[in-house]
Structure 1
Amino acid sequence: MTPRPTIRDVGRVAGVSHQTVSRVLNSSEAVRPATRERVVAAIEALGYARNESAAELARSRREPEARAEGLSAAERAGSTRPTSP
C-alpha cells in the first residue's frame, strides 16, 4: 500500500511551499490565481485528500477559547452528533 500524499508532496509537485498549499486548501485570498491553479492541479494529480481530523486539530490549536471551553468544532457549529473527547 502506498502512503497517502501529504501537503508537502503537493507542494513539491506544484513548486510551492506546504504553507502555500495550506492557504489554497483554506481558500486564502493571499494566493495568486496561477499559483492556485498549479496547486489544484497537483492535488488532483496526486489524489490528495485532506485529513479532516488533522485539520480540526490544527484549527483547535488556533482557537484557544474553544479549547478552554471544551467545545469541538462540531459543537461550535451546532451539530448534535457526539464527538469523542
Structure 2
Amino acid sequence: MENILNNSFFTLIAYVGVISLYLLVVPLLLFYWMNNRWNDMGKFERLGIYGLVFLFFPGLILFSPFLNLRLKGSNKG
C-alpha cells in the first residue's frame, strides 16, 4: 500500500484532476450559472458569484473569448 501512495504516477493523476477542476469544470459551471441567473440573482447570491469569479479567474479568462454573456434583445429595430 505504501508503494502505491509514493508512486509518482498517482501524484501526476491527482495534479491533473485538481488542475482540470480548477481551470475547466468549475469555470464552465460558473459561466452556465451566471448566464441563466444574471437578471434574477439576489444580493447574497451575486456576492457569492463575485467571490467565485475572483477565485476561479484564471479558468474564466481561458473561456472568455469563446462565450458570449450578452443579454438577448427583443429583435426589434
Question: Normalising TM by the smaller chain, what interval?
Answer: 0.3 to 0.5
Tell me: higher relative CO, structure 1 or 2? Use CA pairs within 8 A at least 6 residues apart: 2
Rg larger in structure:
2
Q: TM-score, length-normalised on structure 2?
A: 0.40
Structure (1/2) with the larger helix percentage: 2
